[in-house]
Chains A and B, each alone.
Chain A
Amino acid sequence: MNATAVSLRDCYGSALPELGARFPGIVVLDADLSSSTRTKGFKQRFPDRYLNVGIAEQNLVGVAAGIALAGEIPLVNTFAAFLTRRACDQIAISVAYPHLNVKFFGFHAGINLGEDGATQQSVEDLAIMRGIPGIRVFSPIDATDLNRTLEEVLTWEGPTYVRLSRFPTRAVSDGEVEVGHDPLAWKVLERGDDLCVFTTGTVTEEVLRATAELRTMGTNCQVVAVTRIKPLAESIRELVTLGNSPIAVVEEHSVFGGLADALAELLDRTRLDHRLHRIGIPDRFGESGPPRQLLEHFKLSGQPLVSELLRASQR
Chain B
Amino acid sequence: MWFLCVFYHRLLDFRKPEVEALAELFGEEIAENESLQWRLPQHHHNDTPFHFVQLSSEEIATNIAKRSILVKGMYELWGEGTCYEELEESIKSYPDSRKLPFLTSGSTFRISVETFGKAMTFEEQNDRIRSFTYIPFEGKVDLKNPDHNFFLMEMDESEENNGLPPIVQRRIFFGREVGFADRKLLPTFQLKSRTYLGPTAMDAEMAFLMANQAKATSGKLVYDPFVGTGSILVSAARFGAMTMGADIDIRVVRDGRGPDCNVWSNFKQYGLPMPVALLRMDNNLPPWRSGLKEIFDAIICDPPYGVRACGRKSGGRKILRGTVDPYTVPDDKRTDHIPSTGAYSLVECVHDLLHLAARMLVMKGRLVFFFPVLRDDNGGEVKFPEHPCFKLVAVSEQILSSRYSRVLLTMVKVEPYSDEIEEAARLMHLEFRKNHLKWLEDGNIHSSVFKPIDSSQIHTDSKTFKDPKPKYRGKYV
Is the A/B pair a real complex?
A: no
Q: Which residues of B come within 8 Å of A, CB atoms?
A: none
Q: Which residues of A come within 8 Å of B, CB atoms?
A: none
